[in-house]
Chains A and B, each alone.
Chain A
Amino acid sequence: MRALFNAVKTGFTEIWAHKTRSVLSFLAIAAGSVVFIDAFSAIFATYERIEKQKEVSGMARLKISQNYSQTYSSPDDYVPPPVITYEDVLRLREKLPGFYMVSPEGRDWRNVLEYGEHRVTTSVMGVTPEWTKRDFIYKLRGRFLDWHDVENKLRVCVLVKKAAPPPGNSFNKSMMKKYNFTGGFDTLVAHNDLLGKTVSIDGFTFTVIGILEELPYSRRPETMTGYSQEYKVLAPVTTLIHYNFIGSYQTLDVSIDTGSEQNFEESLRKINNFLKIRFGDGDFFIVENQLELIRERIAASMKSALVTISLGMLAFLAGGIGIMNVTLATVFARTREIGVRRAIGASRRDIMLQFIVEAVMLGLIGGVLGSALGYLWGVPVKVMLGMGGSPIKAWMPLVSVLIAAFTAFVFAIYPAWVAAGLKPADALRAE
């Protein structure tokens, strides 16, 4: 203990006596710390985002949709493929009560929405209250469609209000304007409070019962289902069928969350079974296994996070080699001193301890400095540069300091061993 204390004291004197050399060596470690903290917070952010995405999207997702790539041997063989009707969805729901979500979606395109003298194009989507169970990334004003609306085929609707687009360059913006055919709709919803108002869609009046406000980009949770579905107007699927927005030839897509990853394969079989019994053997529908997709996305995120962290490790490695270099230089510069200390009674262990303690102290100082810089970089500077602050947790600098000290320790072992291995007589002859 006393030996350690003495080594620390000697270490301080030495570090102080060789300020330039010390600064250089702990700068290397500090750089490692900065990169590491940045990498660590990036990993942590990825992890949090994945968790949030899992929560929003669910893991056990499936989607039934029409198989458009069906082939027919000759035009004469063509028969209109069967469609999934709302009744089919209800039956599926009844068969599989354990599922968390069975959400039918029927879309119409190029609808004309009128409000006062405004007249804009949009597209309506028929859904049920199930729709809100997953991928719900909005703030709701008013209320959403309920089962009463669906059962009674009420002409009510919910409008989606887009958030301001994320900052992009003017080229992007002009392209967006050019190709955004429903831009008029977004502007209309943005500038008029339509909640409770009556609008006309393709000539039918609908009451706006709710507004789904998209959160600003920075606060919007992401989904993992990979669909950048653009929702504009949501109405009860039954209403849209009743008023012929969705034709009788048109199939409903069904978004499903089986509720648990465990029985996923079984659930998949049940659904295929249901389709087979209902529609026979033809591959009229495809059941997209989104679980695989989601898993792939998570794996990809994790991989990129690992790349980042290995960058941090690499930075530490560089720092460690810096420390090794400096310690080795110190050993050679202080060979005579080592001899003197050995002559007056220092053992090999004492010498080894002295150099290791000195290096670890450099590592600690570098780690603390680097953590401070890493924090400055991760929070105020990044925010100032508009990169969004890193989620730095209190333990990250702590871990970083520990790793810095540990790296220094590991890389000091060899130089310290060299120092301790010098024969006293030889060391004393050095100049």
Chain B
Amino acid sequence: MSISCFELTKVYDGGKAGWPALRGLSFEIKMGEFVAVTGPSGCGKSTLLNIIGLLDEPTGGRYALNGRDVLTLSDRERSDTRRDEIGFIFQSFHLLNRLSSVENVGLPLMYAGADGAERKERAVALLRKVGLHGKEKKIPLELSGGERQRVAIARALANSPKLILADEPTGNLDSASSKEIMQLLVDLNAEGITVIMVTHDKELAARAGRNIRMRDGRIEQ
């Protein structure tokens, strides 16, 4: 999964006039890289990740995913790309509280058209992979923060994405859990998945293959 961005800008509708969240970012990320994005609060890290993940659109600039201009795609195509190629991990997990672990992990498979049995089988396997064997029936409220983030990682892996976008995945976790989650991401990267992770944690950032440091909507050289 290669990413190339050129002169990305983002101005929020509700944001302060003349204070763009992104002010012309250009960079490339090659397939299989592990990139940590760091920078002070409000510098535009989440904004950037949302744009890379097709959750939001830039105001200006160009963005190609695997050499394909994804800004001109239809909603359907963008949704399918998110579903099939990208896995998201969020600081606050973003699990659906009414669904059990298996159901949460099976959700992306549902949108991919898998039937119930298929979904369950794959979800159970993924939960085992992230070390949650035996917690399949638990709903998020019955799990610890670290466990919830593992469920989220399993969900991100459901459709075998080639890119994982993690926005402060350890922001709500203690240091022990943080290390475990980080290890999982490192392992996934070792399997060939491109990982882009936003973090404030210098130690974790140091374990990434490359760091992109941001300040005021720009990349710090």
Contact = CB atoms under 8 A, between A and B. Distances in A.
Listed residue (A423, A426, A428) with the most chain B CB atoms within 10 angstroms of its CB:
A428
Interface string A44-80: 0000000000000000000000000000000000000
Contacts of A6: 110
B76 A344 contact: no
Contacts of B110: 6
B80 A423 contact: no
A347 B55 contact: no
A425 B15 CA distance: 15
Contact of B82 (A2, A17, A336, A345): A345
Given A347-B79, A347-B80, A17 B98 contact: yes
A424 B88 CA distance: 12
B83 to A, nearest CB: 2
Interface string A341-367: 111111111100000000000000000
Interface string B166-193: 0000000000000000000000000000
A344 B90 contact: no
B82 A343 contact: yes
Interface residues of B, number: 28
Contact of B84 (A13, A343, A345, A349): A345
A418 B57 CA distance: 19
A383 to B, nearest CB: 45
Interface in B109-163: 110-113, 115, 155, 158-159
B28 interface: no
A108 interface: no
Contacts of A350: 79, 111
A17 B96 CA distance: 13
Contacts of B53: 343
Interface string B63-106: 00000000000011001101110001010001110100000000
A345 B54 CA distance: 10
Contacts of B82: 342-345
Nearest to B156: A344
B108 A344 contact: yes
A337 interface: yes
B155 A342 contact: no
Given A343-B53, A345-B82, A424-B56, A336 B111 contact: no
A342 B79 contact: yes
A240 to B, nearest CB: 87
A339 B88 CA distance: 12
A340 interface: yes
Nearest to B165: A343
B56 A425 contact: yes
A132 B90 CA distance: 88
A156 to B, nearest CB: 85
Nearest to A6: B110
Nearest to A429: B46
A342 B115 CA distance: 19
Nearest to A2: B113
B76 A340 contact: no
A423 B76 CA distance: 13
Interface string B46-61: 0000100111100000
Nearest to A431: B92
B107 interface: yes
Interface in A1-59: 2-3, 6, 13, 17
B164 to A, nearest CB: 12
A426 B15 CA distance: 13
Interface in A400-431: 423-426, 428
B76 to A, nearest CB: 5
Contacts of A424: 50, 54-56
A425 B55 CA distance: 5
A343 B159 contact: no
Given A6-B110, A17-B98, A428-B90, A344 B83 contact: yes
A13 B98 contact: yes
B107 A2 contact: no
B51 to A, nearest CB: 8
A416 to B, nearest CB: 15
B80 A344 contact: no
A58 to B, nearest CB: 65
Contacts of A2: 113, 115
A341 B113 contact: no
A343 B158 CA distance: 13
B42 to A, nearest CB: 14
Contacts of B75: 347-348
A345 B98 contact: no
B96 A346 contact: no
A156 B155 CA distance: 98
Interface string A306-350: 000000000000000000000000000000110111111111111
A341 B50 CA distance: 15
A345 B90 contact: no
A425 B22 CA distance: 15
Contact of B56 (A337, A347, A423): A423
6 contacts: A3-B113, A337-B96, A344-B83, A345-B159, A347-B80, A426-B56
Given A3-B113, A345-B83, 8 more contacts: A341-B111, A342-B55, A343-B55, A343-B82, A343-B88, A345-B159, A423-B55, A425-B50
**9 nearest A-B pairs in the assembled complex, by CB-CB distance:** A345-B83, A347-B79, A425-B56, A424-B55, A345-B111, A344-B108, A425-B55, A425-B50, A340-B94
